[in-house]
């Protein structure tokens, strides 16, 4: 029986660990924080899980927050400008969002209850030799740390050297949910996007607001403004930017009750979208395999990171269960089996942080008048491989619209003025 070591206890590491324990395989999970430390820490992200990820949770027996009670059923879209676009797309099966400070500790407890070993402590580069000798395969699922340098950057799939958005994510009271309950995706051309998510947290059912700000745009101030230094100024600025750039969300806010759910419920920063090599040969001849953030870091603009990581972990776990040997051929087979979903998520996310190409503008305009197209586009948030096959080229987008009898909409003469800089 192969012995597996997993570095990183995020969604990729835990889903893989749970899957391996379901097949009674020995596995050790290495984390720099204990479940209790994670639960008491700062907000890590605002993450939604789509239907395929929820099905994997059901299969693993960790669907502790059933989507019919905690989930949502649609996306509400808003594109600002002189003639704003508004449309809704519905899922075939619901998605849901749970604060990872609730989610990850619960899964870590389940993993240990099922016989998985969890070791807590920071790893250094010198530990690589020890881990390589201890395990038949080392899976690196942490996007930061001593071992990410094992996996060189893949230039062809990593077009950016700098963050394309600056991020400000927080959990808030005082925002009434959209009707029907769903995520709102709001675009302010030239300034950035807002992703509003109904989420379960330690404070109950609250609202996550993720501002994706174009560097230098009017929303950019939110990534630097300190809530701790002046909470009133921070909240006034958020409300002002919502009113100006994201009016549909602002209309559901009670200014008197609008506040962060807690002092640790705010995260500001940025990411550089990066795709790294799938695997590396270790000094002793064994292999390390990258999953999750160690393999692909995506901008959260379309919420693909965690779902892609879960898919990748599942492919790895099934390959370990079925594989004859954990050799280079095994690593290459894993890379091939997960490529469509994982690279589709990365390429779609990268497209959405660029100035929008003509065919994307045409798609948005057409979906505002075609429910079937809007529904398929929305459902594909759970299927980034399908989404990328629609968005990759103008010809593919036009064929998608033709299939829905929603040919390219006439170009709005004012659209150029609304395009992101």
Q: Tell me the pLDDT tens digit for each residue of 253-276.
A: 999 999 999 999 999 999 999 999
Q: Which residue intervals of 71-205 are DSSP H helices?
A: 100-113, 127-134
Span of 82-91, 225-234, 412-421 with lowest mean pLDDT: 412-421
What mean pLDDT is predicted for residues 311-328?
Answer: 96
**Which pLDDT band, with edges at 50, 70 and 90, does 411 fall under?**
very low
The residue with tokens 């893989």 is 16
For position 408, what pLDDT does the model report? 59
Between CA 204 and CA 186 the distance in angstroms is 24
For position 418, what pLDDT does the model report? 38
Q: Tell me the pLDDT tens digit for each residue of 83-107.
A: 999 999 999 999 999 999 999 999 9
Between CA 294 and CA 315 the distance in angstroms is 15
In 214-298, where do the E strands start and end? 259-260, 266-270, 274-275, 279-281, 287-290, 296-297
Residue 374, Ramachandran bin (φ over 0: left; ψ between -120 and 50: alpha; else beta): alpha
Q: Tell me the pLDDT tens digit for each residue of 35-81.
A: 999 999 999 999 999 999 999 999 999 999 999 999 999 999 999 99
User: Is 234:175 a contact under the CB 8 Å cutoff?
Assistant: no
Q: Is residue 282 classed as helix, strand or coil in its secondary structure?
A: coil
For position 145, what pLDDT does the model report? 85
- Average predicted confidence (pLDDT) for the chain: 95
User: Domains in the chain, please, with CATH?
Assistant: 4-43+100-160+273-351 (3.50.50.60), 166-270 (3.30.9.40), 357-418 (no CATH)
Q: Tell me the pLDDT tens digit for each residue of 401-410.
A: 999 997 654 4
What mean pLDDT is predicted for residues 306-319?
Answer: 98
């Amino acid at each position: 029986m192969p012995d597996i070591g997993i570095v990183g206890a995020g969604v990729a590491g835990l889903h893989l660990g749970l899957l391996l324990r379901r097949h009674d395989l020995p596995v050790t999970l290495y984390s720099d924080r204990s479940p209790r430390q994670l639960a008491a820490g700062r907000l890590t992200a605002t993450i939604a899980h789509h239907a395929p990820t929820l099905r994997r949770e059901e299969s693993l027996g960790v669907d502790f927050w059933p989507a019919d009670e905690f989930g949502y059923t649609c996306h509400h879209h808003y594109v600002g400008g002189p003639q704003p676009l508004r449309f809704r797309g519905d899922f075939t099966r619901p998605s849901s969002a749970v604060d990872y400070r609730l989610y990850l500790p619960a899964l870590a407890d389940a993993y240990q209850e099922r016989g998985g070993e969890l070791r807590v402590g920071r790893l250094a580069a010198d530990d690589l030799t020890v881990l390589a000798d201890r395990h038949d395969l080392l899976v690196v699922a942490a996007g930061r740390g001593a071992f990410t340098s094992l996996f060189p950057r893949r230039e062809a799939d990593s077009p950016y050297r700098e963050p394309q958005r600056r991020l400000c994510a927080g959990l808030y009271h005082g925002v009434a949910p959209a009707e029907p309950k769903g995520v709102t995706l709001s675009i302010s051309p030239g300034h950035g996007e807002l992703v509003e998510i109904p989420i379960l947290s330690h404070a109950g059912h609250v609202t996550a607001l993720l501002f994706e700000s174009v560097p230098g745009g009017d929303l950019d101030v939110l990534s630097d403004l300190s809530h701790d230094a002046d909470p009133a100024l921070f909240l006034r600025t958020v409300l002002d930017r919502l009113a100006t750039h994201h009016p549909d969300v602002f209309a559901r806010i009670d200014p008197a009750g609008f506040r962060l759910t807690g002092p640790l419920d705010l995260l500001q920063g940025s990411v550089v979208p990066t795709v790294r090599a799938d695997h590396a040969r270790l000094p002793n001849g064994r292999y390390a395999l990258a999953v999750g953030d160690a393999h692909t870091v995506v901008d959260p603009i379309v919420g693909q990171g965690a779902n892609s990581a879960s898919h990748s972990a599942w492919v790895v776990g099934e390959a370990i269960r079925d594989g004859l040997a954990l050799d280079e051929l095994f690593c290459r087979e894993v890379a091939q089996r997960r490529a469509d979903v994982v690279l589709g998520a990365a390429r779609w996310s990268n497209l959405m942080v660029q100035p929008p190409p003509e065919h994307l503008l045409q798609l948005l305009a057409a979906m505002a008048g075609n429910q079937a197209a809007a529904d398929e586009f929305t459902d594909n948030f759970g299927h980034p491989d399908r989404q990328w096959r629609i968005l990759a080229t103008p010809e593919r987008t036009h064929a998608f619209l033709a299939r829905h009898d929603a040919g390219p909409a006439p170009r709005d003469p004012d659209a150029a003025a609304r395009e992101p800089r």
